[in-house]
Amino acid sequence: MNELALIERIAKLAGKPRSGIVCGIGDDCAIYRPKPGEDLLFTTDQMIEGVHFRPEAKPARIGERALARSLSDIAAMGGSPRFCLVMLALPQERTGKWATSFYRGLLTLATKTQTTLAGGDVAHNDRIHVDVMVCGAVPRGKALRRDGARAGDKIYVSGPLGRPWETKINPRLALGQSLLGRATACMDLSDGLSIDLHRMCVASKLAARLESVPLYKGATIERALHGGEDYELLFTLPKILTAPPGCFLIGEMREGVVGQINLAGAKIRSQGYRHFQ
């Protein structure tokens, strides 16, 4: 399968672009026409064979997961996805069935979340390398950020923590959108609660006290604190607001040593998945 044939196949699988996309796959650039009053969100994530997944992992799962990780970042800011660009490097022998399954997996989630595949790039490489860029939109000035938490705000997560790699990522788009104008800070858990909450504390110049952490079936407390596979939302609400159903109260933001997190009276170490360590 050569490059042109592969791109034609992708364009066919991608189908008709949704409103806003003036020009999709096939020209030098994709063209998006912003709607009045929207801010645009941009995020990107890499998935590399041998680093983020095993060579024998199912291509449809890799495609779905690559998109899901970026959608989770859009959810974390309260955004609605608009379109994605997919950059795929792959060996010649995977340009046939493998590539079709990869794009089918990705496009199933794209369709479900109303994300148009608007363009990208394919190249030859001896191992699979995927980058997915997603553009989302929020009402102007309303994006949920990490730096708005205040002392006394309650801390929540959107589900139990400590899940293994194998579970499906379910980007919390509806939840993120429902938190617009309500949450004082929000982010997704992609590196582990201990490091991600630490980052939120640093951005908001606060400390935090954890009271309890909901555990995913079979997870240890270590995995729930430091595992990087949850892709749940971590957010803070002013005391007077009630959390959406299905969310767990886990603690409170406080004045104190910036970035420090206490659990059951003890400081916890902020560690999680990091590259180059």
The residues of the shown chain that bind a copy of itself, judged by CB under 8 A, are 1-4, 6, 22-23, 26-34, 36, 38-46, 48, 51-52, 73-74, 76-77, 79, 85, 87, 89, 92, 95, 118-125, 129, 131, 133, 135-136, 140-141, 143, 145-147, 187-188, 203, 274-277
Three-state DSSP class for 204? helix
Q: In the bound complex, what is the minimum distance in angstroms from residue 272's beta carbon to a copy of itself?
A: 10
Task: Compare residues 151 and 202 and give the one whose CB is closer to a copy of itself.
Answer: 202
What is the full DSSP assignment across 98-129? HHHHHHHHHHHHHHHTT-EEEEEEEEE-SS-E
Identify the DSSP state of 227.
-
Q: Is 250 exposed, middle or buried (0-12, 13-18, 19+ CB in 10 A)?
A: buried
CB of 68 to a copy of itself, least distance (A): 14
Q: Residues 35, 20: contact at Cβ < 8 Å?
A: yes
What is the closest distance, in whole angstroms, from the C-beta atom of residue 273 to a copy of itself in the complex? 9
CB closer to a copy of itself, 144 vs 224: 144
**84 contacts 90 by C-beta, under 8 angstroms:** no
Beta carbon of residue 146, minimum distance to a copy of itself (angstroms, whole number): 6
Provide the residue type at 215 as one letter.
L
Q: Which is nearer to a copy of itself, 118 or 253 (CB)?
A: 118
Alpha helices in 156-275 (DSSP H): 173-178, 193-204, 221-226
The amino acid present at 29, given as its one-letter code, is C
Partner residues linked to 157 by β-bridges = 234, 248
Q: Cβ closer to a copy of itself: 36 or 246?
A: 36
Nearest approach in angstroms of CB 83 to a copy of itself is: 8
Cα 188 versus chain centre, distance: 6
Task: Give the residue among 43, 44, 60, 62 at the shortest CA–CA distance from 52.
Answer: 62
- Between 94 and 163, name the residue whose CB sits nearer to a copy of itself: 94
Beta carbon nearer to a copy of itself, 38 or 150: 38
